[in-house]
Amino acid sequence: MAPTPHRWQPPGRAHFPPTHRNETSSPRIASNLLSSQRRLRHHPAAGDHQARVIPSSTGNLVNDYQRTNLIPIFPLSTVFFPGQVKMLYIFEPRYKALLQMCIHTGSPFGIVLDRPPTRDEPHPLPHRVGVLAHIFQVARQSDDTYHIQIYGGERFQVKQFFQTRSFLQAEITSFPLAQTDSEEAQLLADAVGEMLEMYLDALTEASGYDFQLPDFPETPEQLAYVTASMLQINNRQKQALLTISALPDLFRQEIQHLISEIDLMDWINDTIESPANNIFDGYGPEGVISLN
């Protein structure tokens, strides 16, 4: 019999009930996920300094974290956004060690988009702009693996990578998303909100899945990240959105993506007679409709 899941609440943060049991790649859970996103507080930031690997001192990792601003890094093959909710399956020993450290210290870890190996760079470092992942549920399995649920917090910029332990660490800097309260951002938010509703309607019709939002984002900043997570674009394009430093610029780029995506959905809806007949197989960066 599997052990009873252990729920762990990060110090100083509210516990949010789980909204799903699988990876966020499933379109059927989009509405529940976005409802949870609405309730999660986040303070995004960005930057663009050069990252590099430097030596790290030896010693206890917990002590290292408490006296520095190092965070453990978890590279993923998908882009993770502030406010997003995701489940991760932890089975590698190095990431189980990462998890135990985060539980012990009450600290988040950093999620960054991994880079694929190339002929010239067989072991590349991941991207330098990522998001802090806050753990709000841990379930240990009978085979000593873990399912954890996380939500996206602050966006960060990697200053330096450290790679002397079993998992990657980084020194990070946090910068707030600029111009979030500007009049321009509010005007663009109105346009993006209308286009997002059109896009989700078209996605729902074309895919046969329900993409409607149960609760619309309350602030322009939340709207920007919900839009970024819902766009069916590739990881390179999503990472580019994640690195934009000012909210009006982020909205303008999303408008361009929404125009292209709405045109594509309209073409699909006008062309395909049976929209739910697996026409989206292989569509999106993970091979299915996804929020990454």
pLDDT for the residue numbered 169: 96
Q: Are residues 60 and 192 in the same domain?
A: no
Tell me how far apart the alpha carbons of residues 102 and 65 are, in angstroms, rounded to a whole number: 10
Q: Are residues 159 and 228 in the same domain?
A: no
Say if strands 70-76 and 85-90 run parallel, antiparallel, or are unpaired.
unpaired
pLDDT tens, residue by residue, 196-216: 999 999 999 988 889 888 888
Other C-beta atoms lying within 10 Å of the C-beta of residue 179: 16
Per-residue confidence at 70, pLDDT binned at 50, 70, 90?
A: confident
> Picking from 63-77, 186-200, 240-254, 259-273, which range would have the lowest pLDDT averaged per residue?
63-77
Q: Is residue 221 predicted with pLDDT exceeding 90?
A: yes
Q: Is residue 5 predicted with pLDDT exceeding 70?
A: no
pLDDT for the residue numbered 140: 96
Q: Radius of gyration (Cα) for the chain, nearest Å?
A: 19
Kindly state whether residue 194 falls inside one of the protein's structural domains: yes
Kindly state whether residue 2 falls inside one of the protein's structural domains: no
Kindly state whether residue 91 falls inside one of the protein's structural domains: yes
234: Cβ–Cβ under 8 A, 6 or more apart, which residues?
Answer: 285
User: What SS3 class is residue 172?
Assistant: strand
**Residue bearing tokens 């580019």:** 240
pLDDT for the residue numbered 66: 53
Q: Are residues 41 and 165 in the same domain?
A: yes
Q: Is residue 20 predicted with pLDDT exceeding 50?
A: no
Kindly state whether residue 54 falls inside one of the protein's structural domains: yes
If one counts the domains in the chain, the total is: 2
Mean pLDDT throughout 63-78? 78
Q: Buried b / exposed e across 33-58, counting CB within 10 Å, b at 16+?
A: bbebbbebebebbbbeeebeeeebee
Q: Are residues 70 and 135 in the same domain?
A: yes
Kindly state whether residue 89 falls inside one of the protein's structural domains: yes
Kindly state whether residue 218 falls inside one of the protein's structural domains: yes
Tell me how far apart the alpha carbons of residues 34 and 43 are, in angstroms, rounded to a whole number: 17
CB distance 91 to 144 below 8 Å:
no
Q: Are residues 146 and 231 in the same domain?
A: no
Q: Are residues 101 and 229 in the same domain?
A: no
> What's the CATH code of the domain at 237?
1.20.58.1480
Q: Are residues 82 and 195 in the same domain?
A: no
Tell me how far apart the alpha carbons of residues 148 and 169 are, in angstroms, rounded to a whole number: 20
Kindly state whether residue 1 falls inside one of the protein's structural domains: no
> Picking from 64-68, 69-73, 110-114, 153-157, which range would have the lowest pLDDT averaged per residue?
64-68
Q: Are residues 124 and 227 in the same domain?
A: no
Q: Are residues 163 and 192 in the same domain?
A: no
Could you tell me the residue range of the domain that residue 117 belongs to?
27-174
Mean pLDDT throughout 282-288? 47
Q: Are residues 187 and 161 in the same domain?
A: no
Tell me how far apart the alpha carbons of residues 22 and 290 are, in angstroms, rounded to a whole number: 12
Kindly state whether residue 33 falls inside one of the protein's structural domains: yes
Q: Are residues 232 and 146 in the same domain?
A: no
